[in-house]
Chain A
């Protein structure tokens, strides 16, 4: 009886930890596939396939159902299992894919990890008059950053793209405080 009483909570905890880890792995797989999309060339079908596989939803403009002509897809991963039991503070990633005229026009990633600024990383089709790299920092009332956005166009250097999208998602699968600074904001400050 005592054994059962001990085993049940332990089994529940193990299930939660496994669930959280699965969420992290799924998020990493999804992000790898999304960042492998070629902006301006990848098709609606390719993007839709990724979205369907990872439980994405339609976030298209009001009055427009998702179609190859115009579609916005939203895919979210969160550490819900951990936060509901108070084992971790909210962390997660939301991935946005924008499609216009049958082609992926932009991707964006919104990453939230406890104790760090919300990080937004995106890439869009290069357009005349739009800088290759744009950084926007929102500060809190004391002047400390609480949200950072890095927007690249398809003309940005590949190594920079790799840095900007190198997001450590380990906070999603781990209970307790998360010390992983994601993004490595210290390394990206030079973009400002």
Chain B
């Protein structure tokens, strides 16, 4: 079961389907720090510590196609990150929003956007009324098909979440049981 940042020291590697605890690799960390002066995330080619980033909802409203949530990658303090990342959406039940296709591999819908934007536009709707799903996001420096992804915590008006619960209520997608209170226009 992916740890999804609930444990701050734990990272889920979608490529191996295994959780990873970098702090447990004490010898390796110490070795790397001693030789290179780099942190574990720098060693992995990241310019930011993923645990210090938040995929922050810029707006959450009812748009032309149902619910629209615009996410931007920010630091905990709300600044822009140093690096540029692909943002990839994962769902335990991709049928919820109809995005499933034969091209997708188990464990995620793998929906991405331009890495330069450090953002993700989530347009939520779907035909699978009554279906539910867990949604989480990963970031990667390159294409998620070939580059390891690191879970990123979502920040919205209600708090910080490693995983979001989605429910299709007759075409309205509730996120953690909420429905937006305004229109996008």
Residues of A within 8 A of B (CB): 57, 59-64, 70, 72, 74, 76, 78, 90-92, 94, 96, 98, 100, 105-110, 112, 115, 117-118, 120, 122-125, 136, 138-144, 146-147, 149, 151
Contact = CB atoms under 8 A, between A and B. Distances in A.
A72 B183 CA distance: 9
Nearest to A114: B101
Nearest to A83: B127
B2 interface: no
Contacts of B88: 141
Given A115-B102, A146-B109, 7 more contacts: A70-B183, A94-B126, A105-B185, A106-B185, A118-B99, A138-B99, A140-B99
B1 interface: no
A108 B109 CA distance: 23
B65 A140 contact: no
Contact of B181 (A61, A78, A118, A149): A61
Given A76-B127, A138-B99, A140-B109, A94 B181 contact: no
A96 B111 contact: no
Majority SS at the chain B contact face: loop
A141 B112 CA distance: 7
A147 B100 CA distance: 10
B101 A141 contact: no
Interface of B: 61-66, 88, 95, 97-105, 108-113, 121, 123, 125-129, 143-145, 170-172, 178-183, 185
Contacts of A74: 66, 170-172
A151 B110 CA distance: 23
Contacts of B99: 118, 138, 140, 146-147
B170 A140 contact: no
B125 to A, nearest CB: 5
B183 to A, nearest CB: 6
Contacts of A61: 61-62, 179-183
